Amino acid sequence: MILALIIFILAVFLLVYLNFSNIKIELRELPIIPKIFYGVSLAAEKGRPIIFSTGLTGLGPLLYACVEILKEIARRSARLDIKLLIPQNDPPSLAYVNQALQSVYASEGKISKYDPLSVVFLSEEQFAYAAGYIGLLKRENVAAAFLFGYFAGEALILAESGKNVGAFQIAGSVSPEQVAFFLVTCEDVALGDELYAVSAKLSGDKNILYNLRVADILKLLCLVIILIGSVIHTKQTGFLDKFLTIPVKQNVQRN
């Protein structure tokens, strides 16, 4: 409990320090980002829509990260006049996504091109949502599909359906058990926390970049603490003594 409190205080201190010092955070190049842009360009070339799914993601930090990726895709879609579809399974998330898209189209001077019906509510039930998503894919004949967020058992259904209609697919998920399905059906995948890195890189928001850097520092600190604790505990229990102690043969003198 005390250790958790210390780590929390350290995180707050680091965030405050980074904000006041105005340090520039540089992220490594992420190969998935050019592929995201290529998917948008491919849809423009084919004159077919783009679909962006956040899966079963509810309102929270993960959705905010996904929406930052969506904003960049929406910005390019507005410039190229591409139809964009965003199926949702959570009403509060739908409202947030709708507002975010309106602000993007307004900033691009394309507010008249924004269609509120592009953000469509399908169902809160997992496989009903999947069925609705498949229907959209086939009816609209989408050229590119982006799947970012939290996914469960419906992941393979969504990705396989996109593959069947010939969509160029990019995915990213914090669900480790679903990443394997995306790897075999998508052109590229953001693995785990890499999704947050993609969001930070595309948005360029310094607050997101600072949070990402602090999270990396704390992960490294926790790893060091775990390793040190493991060594101390192992030494105290004497588990290593049998391996580190060299047995000495005693000469027995015969009478």
pLDDT digits (tens, 9 = 90+) for 194-215: 888 888 888 777 777 777 777 7
CATH topology of domain 31-209: Rossmann fold (3.40.50)
Residue 174: DSSP 8-state: S
Count of other CB atoms within 10 angstroms of residue 1 = 5
Helices (H), the chain: 2-21, 32-46, 61-80, 91-107, 126-140, 155-164, 176-185, 194-203, 206-237, 241-244
Give the domain ranges of the chain.
31-209
- pLDDT tens readout for residues 65-98: 899 999 999 999 988 889 999 999 988 989 999 9
